[in-house]
Amino acid sequence: MKQHFEYLGYAAGVITTLAFLPQAFRIFTTRQARDISLLWALAMNVGIILWLLYGIAINDLPMIAANSVSLLLLLVILYSKLRFR
């Protein structure tokens, strides 16, 4: 039964992680990030780091995978926000 819930975790992780991709791509291609809140970008990065650490602590592979990729995308967004002011 746990395996079925793990698939649910993977599906949720893929969908929420992919939600950051269009924003990161747009910022990277337009070189503009003025509409992105710096506080939002910082808070999201900290939150994702905490979720990633939690996933590692409980050894939850869907949570680790999704939050690792989300963190990479959010770091791109944060870097771009700071770089393209």
Q: pLDDT of 37-83, one tens digit each?
A: 999 999 999 999 999 999 999 999 999 999 999 999 999 999 999 99
pLDDT of 3 reads 73
Average the pLDDT over 15-36 and give the result.
91
pTM for this structure?
A: 0.86
What is residue 5's predicted lDDT score, i.e. its pLDDT?
Answer: 83
Per-residue pLDDT at 2: 65
Q: Assign residue 14 the CATH number of its domain.
A: 1.20.1280.290
Provide the residue count of the chain. Answer: 85
1 confidence band (pLDDT: 50, 70, 90): low
Q: How many domains does the chain have?
A: 1
Print the domain residue range for 12: 2-83
